Amino acid sequence: MNALTQYIELFKAHRSTIEANAPAALNERRTEALDVLEKCGRLPQRGDEGYEITSLNDMFAPDYGINIARIKFPDDELSTFRCELPSVTRAWSMLVNDHFVAAPGLEQSLPEGVEVMSLRRAAELYPGMIYGDKLPVDNPVVALNTLFVQDGVFIRIRRGVHFDTPIQILNVFNSATPMLAARRIRVVVEEGAHASVLICEHPRVADVDYLSCRVVDVTVARDAQLDFYDLEEATARSRRASVFACDQHQESRLNMSNIFLDGGMTRNDYCIRYSGDHATTRLGGLVIGGREQSIDNSVDIAHSTQHCSSNQLFKYALFDQSKGAFGGMVNVEAGARYTDARQSNRNLLASPEARMHAMPQLIINCDEVKASHGATTGQLDERALFYMRSRGIPEAEARMMLINAFMTDVLDHVQLEPLRERLRHLVDKRLRGCNSTCNTCSLEKLK
């Protein structure tokens, strides 16, 4: 039995329970998702086009538990959890496995026009808003998520509202046994509105296998702006298959940054679509890989309207036996005149055993466009390293300083200054061989 078959059979055996425990609006697309998966036959495997280092079949094959019956897990993390962003004022809540848990006083702390609630509640209040128009339903991760999703987060910023406080969602696993959580995050930024969203991954138990099957479904309306930050800081036994899908309308602005600091195996898909002219997209990705980690980012941007711009910058620093992959597809469709599309992937191999696979791609079916793409993979500049050592800087410290400098422009994508400075601190700690909870660091760990 392949991995996909076991999930299809599990859904069919428990469909009545799943649908009885979920609002009607969440059930509407399960049949469509089931049809997509049955036509697929199997999940993508390593070696398939676009999956050069990642096998979704292997990722989903282990016997993870799914909380079909909606058993409530303890949510005492709300009182004990300490996030690594103490200097950033934020409105926050949690997904404990796949249950939405609001921080005390969350609703009262939000201004008029800003709503953060469970997806279950939103499905009852706003049934027509819980699915975006450009969600790629044929993506296998989206289909699997749609099959099993029963809860998540719904964020709505109403027309004209500018909310300067970041909205933070903590994704927490706290099961003592292997678990798969189907998490859905729906973000709607209405016309002329502006908001920042920060998502953090924080498994609570290091020696348990977890799989996050996550979909982030975003709509940015006309003249609206969303700054979205995704911080991965998980455990070696964590797995993540994530799809970020965004529908941008006329004159909208999306600034999206993904920072991978720790974890096991990650596959992130980014799907950007345009529903109006003069939209702007900036995607930034920063990866610090070590041990035997596998980090795979795949971007699909389809320019279908005029005067839109997209700018991608993904950088990897890979240590030990870690593996990285970047696949970037920019498709400029016929009629998408005056498009400005830029894509850059730069990679640093800090170990002889580290491996990187890069495949940037451009398809241009329109004249009067600007487009560029490129990928480079190399090692630290030995001349710069020698110069720094000749000035009395220890080798490990010199290496860390050069890698920090290599990654600076990705962190510059972060619009929120307190968060940007905090991320610089976390990156520095990671390069010194620390995780977010350690008290001592060793530069020797990441030589």
- Domain boundary assignment for the chain: 3-276, 381-447
Q: What pLDDT was estimated at residue 151?
A: 94
- Mean pLDDT in residue range 305-314: 96
Q: Is the pLDDT score of 444 beyond 70?
A: no
pLDDT tier at 447 (50, 70, 90 boundaries)? very low
Residue 9 to residue 13: CA distance in whole angstroms: 6
Q: Is the pLDDT score of 174 beyond 60?
A: yes
Q: What pLDDT was estimated at residue 34?
A: 97
Residue 422 to residue 23: CA distance in whole angstroms: 39
Q: Could you give the C-alpha distances from 366 to 49, 251, 339, in angstroms and in order? A: 25, 21, 9
Q: Which of 244-258, 320-334, 404-418 has the lowest mean pLDDT?
A: 404-418
- Mean pLDDT in residue range 155-173: 94
Q: What pLDDT was estimated at residue 443?
A: 34
3-state secondary structure of 245: strand
pLDDT tier at 438 (50, 70, 90 boundaries)? very low
5-43: per-residue pLDDT in tens? 999 999 999 999 999 999 999 999 999 999 999 999 999
Q: What pLDDT was estimated at residue 205?
A: 78
pLDDT tier at 446 (50, 70, 90 boundaries)? very low
Residue 53 to residue 323: CA distance in whole angstroms: 8
Residue 171 to residue 188: CA distance in whole angstroms: 19
Residue 175 to residue 210: CA distance in whole angstroms: 9
* pTM, full prediction: 0.92
Q: What pLDDT was estimated at residue 445?
A: 41
- Mean pLDDT in residue range 108-121: 94
How many residues does the structure list for the chain?
447
Residue 234 to residue 221: CA distance in whole angstroms: 32
Radius of gyration of the chain (CA): 21
37-55: per-residue pLDDT in tens? 999 999 999 989 999 999 9
Residue 66 to residue 313: CA distance in whole angstroms: 36
* Token pair of 279 as six digits: 């939209």
